[in-house]
Chain A
Amino acid sequence: MLELKSVDAGYGSFQALFGINLDVKAGEAVGVIGPNGAGKTTLMRVISGLIRPTRGTIAMEGTDVVATPAHLIVGLGIAHVPENRRLFPRLTVQDNLKMGAFMPQARAKFADRLEFVFDLFPRMKERRNQMAGTMSGGEQQMCAIGRALMSDPKLLLLDEPSAGLAPVVVQQVFELVKRIRSGGLTVLIVEQNVQQVLKVVDRAYLLEAGTIRASGTAVEMRESDTVKQAYLGV
């Protein structure tokens, strides 16, 4: 479904990604793990078009993502839940969800998608008229995921969904990722919480200093000495 080949990217003269090769198949959940500053967020941003690669190709179901204007990439079926959620704090929950359905194709399905998101997050239905910025961190994360789901995506990019949340809420977020997966959605998830993320993904990549150091199935990654020592604390 998604294929990155030798992708370089960065900010100005600072290069954050070096020759990334990565693929995600339809129906899979894939994790990207690694330390702070490894380039995980940059990887997500380069896929959704917030920054553009300096080299390499990105294809979504055969369509050249690099050649697609940034605001049309969501139309290819890629929905990005950004780091720190980035909700519109002074818009209501419902208006935030409405922004997720801004694309003409999504507007037609607005009522259905809203029902789908409210089924998934009954809390959002209760809080639909509340300003998004006044909700708790966990609720904001639900709203951010709901906003991304409003576009009826094929591929969901989740950037650190557990960051800054209480342990109980982190658990809920990973439960949620499992539920979203079971609905057939393809997921690419970036996480520092390695232990948890390896429980919900099929495969994972280890990203360090902007390059992919290791990859394999979730089981292989859990067994790998590199991952064990550095991230699982075993």
Chain B
Amino acid sequence: MESFLEIFDIYLLEAVVNGILLGGLLALLALGLNLIFGVIDVTWICYAELVMIGMYGMYFLVQYYGISYFLAAPVAIALVAILGALLHFLVIAPLLSGPPINQLLATGGVLFVLQSFATVAFGIDFRNLGIRLPVLAFAEMHFSYARLLAFGAALIGMVVVYLFMTRTYTGTAIRAIAQDRQIMALMGVDTKKIYLITSAVGGALAGLAACLLVLQYDVHPFVGLSFGPITFLICVLGGLGNFVGGFVAAFVFAEIISLGGLFSDLEWGYVLAFVFFIIMMFVRPGGLLARRQ
């Protein structure tokens, strides 16, 4: 009985740590979506598809052109950043003064365009980088280096965005524009330019997420479906546009998935997480940390 408890505790601890590692990655995904929503007031339904394109970018750079992973990553991040800026310039900006539902439908349209494009251009095969990182064994627990790397890089990415948002004029303007967009011209701020920069930053975060996800998952045209909805739910759970709420919600979700998976299949972890989400929508419809008005 005693030895059983010991083993159980090890598994529990392993699941908790793996939950934290997953939480970092989900928090990174949620931050990008929250940034766009909080600042531009638009939900990029196609956010996960930008990540998918970034994953394909990594696949081709590494497997096809033979560039090393760490050189390919900045290129892929820049590529998705440009894609984010293009999405804003071509789709969102012309619709900004229209009803919000049109913006939502338009980004939904982009989702299908990107999926179809990937299917036609890259086929439906599952592809991977062919990089298999070792597993770290520590005190009878096992953690994959891919997850540890993803967690560390996600944290660094979020710290860089935090410093950018708090220390620079442009970052301060991004926070200000979310609070009062009409008077930005009085500050000498060109709102169109700030929106474009924000979209590029959102894209860059999707690009970073792509670089990290491609280490753990195969890429295929519909890979966005496996983390797009959960990213969206995390943002809603944290209160759309609330950065801190999104961060907290990502870790809550990740722990539910990880611990739920411990007692049965991993899929049950997801079921529990979605049930938790639905209950929370009744209990705290404004989000875990509802923003004070």
> Chain A: residues with CB nearer than 8 A to chain B?
48-50, 69-75, 79-80, 82, 86, 88-91, 95, 98-103, 106-107, 147, 151
Size of chain B's interface in residues, with CB distance under 8 A? 17
Q: Which of B172, B185, B190 contacts A49 (CB 8 A)?
A: B185
Residues of chain A with a CB closer than 8 A to B190's CB: 69, 71
- 11 chain-A/chain-B pairs, Cβ below 8 angstroms: A48-B185, A49-B185, A69-B190, A71-B185, A86-B183, A95-B175, A99-B173, A99-B176, A102-B187, A102-B189, A147-B187
Q: Which of A82, A91, A151 contacts B183 (CB 8 A)?
A: A82
Within 8 A of A (CB), among B166-191: 169, 172-173, 175-176, 179-180, 182-191
Contact (A98, B169) CB under 8 Å given A71-B189, A106-B188: yes
Closest B residue by C-beta to A87? B180
Residues of chain B with a CB closer than 8 A to A80's CB: 186
Residues of chain A with a CB closer than 8 A to B169's CB: 98, 101-102, 107
B185 with A50: CB separation less than 8 A:
yes
Q: Which of A71, A89, A90, A106 contacts B184 (CB 8 A)?
A: A71
* Most chain A beta carbons < 10 A, residue from B175, B183, B188, B190: B188
> Chain B: residues with CB nearer than 8 A to chain A?
169, 172-173, 175-176, 179-180, 182-191
Q: Which of A50, A69, A90, A95 contacts B186 (CB 8 A)?
A: A50
Closest B residue by C-beta to A78? B186
B172 with A98: CB separation less than 8 A:
yes
Closest 5 A/B residue pairs (Cβ): A70-B185, A103-B188, A74-B188, A71-B185, A71-B190
Shortest CB-to-CB span from A12 to chain B, Å, is 14
Shortest CB-to-CB span from B238 to chain A, Å, is 16
* Most chain A beta carbons < 10 A, residue from B175, B176, B187, B190: B187
* Most chain B beta carbons < 10 A, residue from A82, A98, A102, A103: A102
B172 with A73: CB separation less than 8 A:
no
Closest A residue by C-beta to B182? A50
19 A-B pairs besides A70-B185, A71-B190 with CB distance below 8 A are A48-B186, A50-B182, A50-B185, A69-B190, A71-B191, A74-B185, A74-B187, A79-B186, A82-B183, A82-B186, A86-B180, A89-B179, A90-B179, A91-B176, A95-B176, A99-B172, A99-B173, A99-B176, A107-B169
Closest A residue by C-beta to B183? A86
Residues of chain B with a CB closer than 8 A to A91's CB: 172, 175-176, 179
